[in-house]
Structure 1
Amino acid sequence: MMIDLNKEKLNIKDKKITLYKSTDKNAPLIVFNTFEGDGEDVYQALQNMGCTSINLLVVGNIDWNHDMSPWYMPSIYSKEKSFSGGADEYLRLLIDEILLKAKELIEGEPKFTGIAGYSLAGLFAVYAMYKTDVFDRVASMSGSLWFSNFIEYCKRNEYKRLPDKIYFSLGDKEANTRNPVLKTVQDKTIELSEYFKILGSEVIFELNPGNHFTDTILRSAKGIKAIL
């Protein structure tokens, strides 16, 4: 059964934005940065899980290796682009323009605002808490926490706001790789989840069956559900 979607489509600075609006007043607002598509499959999965009181703000057409990376890092594969460190610039656009517009369109004032993402967008979601106090909750699904010096950055710097809930997940086969950088992902994800626990956040860490590309829609929805 398809649910009648109360959705708005917007274009802001070449980003393609889809806002799935709740009919409830003051429903939470969750930002989900996506690699492709408009997030409808994730929204439907959330509805099927009973998460109906949610405003889901999906941002697409992202320059993935630029907008989601906190600083420069050479590519981990020979044929791919380097990571060019555009996260600060994109975060300003997200907060100053995209989020402001979304808040005008939803019913009431969101009970809380969260940020969620898969892969590099999961890295970006964690990085955002060091740059802005806008987000109350964070979900990082199969986050690229192997990113060069990222764990060190988190431990050395002061967050702008410690989220009251942080969710991390990973596929149980993600660390089974020959790539020396990607190999570290499980250790680093566990290390970071323990660190935020010590700081006092409610942290959930979940291992899912499969590799990085298994059940991405379901895993994304599960992560968002966990912070609602």
Structure 2
Amino acid sequence: METIKNRQCFIHGKKQAKYLLIQPIDEHDLDAMEEEIETINKTTSDYLLVGILVNDWQRELSPWYMPALFGNEDFQGGADVFYQEVKEVVEEIKVLYDMHDAHVIIGGYSLAGLFALYAGYQDAYDGIVGASPSVWFKDFLSYTQTHPIKTQYVYLSLGDKEEKARNKTMASVGDCLRTYEAYLREHTHCILEMNPGNHFKDTGIRVGKGFSWIIKSLDHA
């Protein structure tokens, strides 16, 4: 782990790489990094992966306030503040690793996947990965209908058991994701890939598959 602009970051890859991969992460994501890296390496080694450690998952990754689904921890809607910090990290990485001309791809898993998608409405990215993204989040789909996404490549994925969650809001993720994919297909190159298992299975592999799909798409653009 390295400290970049006061943020703890996991960094893997090389300087002057063609692809800069940005991912908000937590401790669980760190545990899955080996599988994620192995998956990306099957496509290319010409990348730098930067995992930015999230300090408060519910606050920093949520675009606006939403009451808690479990317990008393509400979603505090701090994504705009965290996003400015992410941008500062990205700019510093570009300087430190001489990557001013790199293709920048942002991605994440679960609520971090939602954050990555939300980031695509704030600034232009070369691609976005939303692996099992929390698109059930209140008013997110209506937000996407009234704001243009600023990328041409979007990768979405979901575990085939995620729609069987006991919580009704989380169980709606499949319908929400299919609706979102259909809308994105009218404006971007988008794919929705189904994976075996529940929300917690093969998380690193799923994110790695997303980054790989974006990289392949850009290579053949």
Structure-2-length-normalised TM-score: 0.89
Which residue number in structure 2 is paired with residue 138 of structure 1? Answer: 128
Deviation at 1:91, TM superposition (A): 0.6
Which residue number in structure 1 is paired with residue 115 of structure 2? Answer: 124
Which residue number in structure 2 is paired with residue 90 of structure 1? Answer: 82
The letter for the 2-side match of 1:145 is V
Alignment of 1:145-184 (within 5 A): 145-159=135-149, 161=150, 163-184=151-172
Deviation at 1:188, TM superposition (A): 0.7
Is 1:189 equivalent to 2:148 in the alignment? no
Question: Residue 211 of structure 1: which of 193, 198, 203 is its match?
Answer: 198
Is the CA contact (8 Å cut-off) linking 1:123 and 1:145 kept in structure 2? yes
**What are the Cα deviations for residues 26-76 of structure 1, in whole angstroms up to 9, with x where unaligned?**
411110111216464255323542421111111014311011000000111
Is 1:81 equivalent to 2:73 in the alignment? yes
**What are the Cα deviations for residues 102-134 of structure 1, in whole angstroms up to 9, with x where unaligned?**
00122443431110000000000111111222x
- Number of aligned residue pairs: give it: 213
Long gaps (5+) in structure 2: 216-221
**What are the Cα deviations for residues 140-171 of structure 1, in whole angstroms up to 9, with x where unaligned?**
00000000111011102233x2x121000000
Long gaps (5+) in structure 1: 1-7
Task: Give the Cα–Cα distance (whole angstroms) in 1 for the partners of residues 169 and 33 of structure 2.
Answer: 32
Report the secondary structure of 1:138's partner residue: strand
Which protein has the bigger helix share?
2
Is the CA contact (8 Å cut-off) linking 2:110 and 2:131 kept in structure 1? yes
Higher relative contact order (CA 8 A, sep 6+): 2
Question: Residue 59 of structure 1: which of 52, 64, 82 is its match?
Answer: 52
Is the CA contact (8 Å cut-off) linking 1:67 and 1:86 kept in structure 2? yes
Which structure 1 residue ranges, 4+ long, deviate > 6 Å from structure 2?
A: none
Over the aligned positions, Cα root-mean-square deviation in angstroms equals: 1.8
Task: Give the Cα–Cα distance (whole angstroms) in 2 for the partners of residues 108 and 129 of structure 1.
Answer: 20
Task: Give the Cα–Cα distance (whole angstroms) in 1 for the partners of residues 175 and 159 of structure 2.
Answer: 13
